[in-house]
Amino acid sequence: MKITKTSISRLKSTDFSNLPFGTVFSDHMLICNFKDGKWGPAEILPYGPISISPGSKVLHYGQSVFEGMKAFKNSNNEVLLFRKEENYKRINRSAVRLSIPEIPEDIFMNGLDELLSLDNEWCKADEGYSLYIRPFIFASSEGVKASASEEYTFMIITSPSTKYYEGEMNVVVEEHFTRAPKGGVGSAKAAGNYAASFYPTKQANAKGFQQLIWTDSIEHKYIEESGTMNIWFRVGDKLVTPELSDSILGGITRESILTLAKNNGIKVEQRKILVSEVVEGIKSGIIIEVFGTGTAVTVNPINSITFRDEKLVIPTIEYSYAIKLKQELQGIQKGKLEDKLGWTSKVVSKVSLS
């Protein structure tokens, strides 16, 4: 792999005590192009602007998919990637749905290893830090005919991060707009899903809510996700989360929490969840915890749910499943707890750099 190192690292001039999520990028990026029916060689370059044609299909038709993944530093100063195989499988599932050619495994995996080895100092070992990794593929053919592109660009950029959300999480049930329709691309990590969520989210923000609860596109009766997170309800001693469908993104954190909960003897149900059931459950006190999961947030408690004009506050409890499962997940991610499930892998470079 061709690697061009930056001549001026931004590492020393970066303020690691102030990292609003996704705003600071590490020194290097990976780029690889698909042309004439095949993926070419990947290359690592200093992070910086790229040149694309104004006629690039991604700009007109949004043919683009991405991933969100995280790396952590353990106490031996080694960089650990969390469940990279799952992100690899998911970017290709998303790619297939968006008519994008799948990325070969060696490009994705070696690309991560080399990029993260080179920028390993951007991944801090201190408590609360991780390196957020954003692999993405976009349509780069020039032409405004509404058809799948013939050329694509795959890139990986990384961003040192701390918290995604600050403060309370008060959410409102959305009964008009929808994140993803049945038969649509909701289960793919398609860029357009996020673009479509911004307008309804802004309206909710203006009313003082941090996020929305997305409901199904047909009746707005069933709960799907919250903001960019999968959502969970603790009903007594059981955890309940919406079952996956073509309008729900299958989170890797969701799947990890399902596994950890089961291994802790917590009963878990994946099923359709009615909005009315949640409203009544919070009022009657059967629902004692609500939280969201996602790569960026890990596990995030939800403090209140507003349905129509009624704000239902979820009181904080002493023995919280969200806190327990988050601590266990983060312990594995940072190499502090034994990784019995083989979820982490060390970043190892195969290239000797001068």
> Which residues are near ligand COI by CB under 6 A?
68, 194, 228, 294-296
What is the closest distance, in whole angstroms, from the C-beta atom of residue 146 to ligand COI in the complex? 26
DSSP character at residue 134:
E
**Dist CA 341 CA 77 (whole Å):** 22
DSSP3 helix / strand / coil % (the chain, rounded to 5): 25, 30, 45
* Residue showing the smallest CB distance to ligand COI in the complex: 68
What is the closest distance, in whole angstroms, from the C-beta atom of residue 159 to ligand COI in the complex? 10
Measure the CA angle with vertex 90, ends 88 and 91; round to 5°.
70
Tokens standing for residue 310: 């009624």
**Cα four-point dihedral sign 158, 86, 109, 139:** negative
| Residue recorded with tokens 């403060």 | 167
**HEC-encoded secondary structure of 280-344:** HHHHHCCEEEEEEEECCCEEEECCEEEECCEEEECCCCCCCHHHHHHHHHHHHHCCCCCCCCCCE
What is the closest distance, in whole angstroms, from the C-beta atom of residue 7 to ligand COI in the complex? 31
Residue among 166 and 219 whose Cβ is closer to ligand COI: 166
Residue 282 neighbours by CB distance under 10 Å: 21
What is the closest distance, in whole angstroms, from the C-beta atom of residue 31 to ligand COI in the complex? 20
Residue among 194 and 198 whose Cβ is closer to ligand COI: 194
What is the closest distance, in whole angstroms, from the C-beta atom of residue 286 to ligand COI in the complex? 28
CA 190 → CA 148, 185, 187, 344, distances in Å? 14, 7, 8, 26
What is the closest distance, in whole angstroms, from the C-beta atom of residue 229 to ligand COI in the complex? 7
Residue among 81 and 288 whose Cβ is closer to ligand COI: 81
**Dist CA 313 CA 213 (whole Å):** 15
Residue 122 neighbours by CB distance under 10 Å: 25
Residue among 153 and 228 whose Cβ is closer to ligand COI: 228
What is the closest distance, in whole angstroms, from the C-beta atom of residue 95 to ligand COI in the complex? 16
Residue among 68 and 184 whose Cβ is closer to ligand COI: 68
Residue among 3 and 290 whose Cβ is closer to ligand COI: 290
Residue among 140 and 295 whose Cβ is closer to ligand COI: 295
CB 217 within 8 A of CB 181: yes
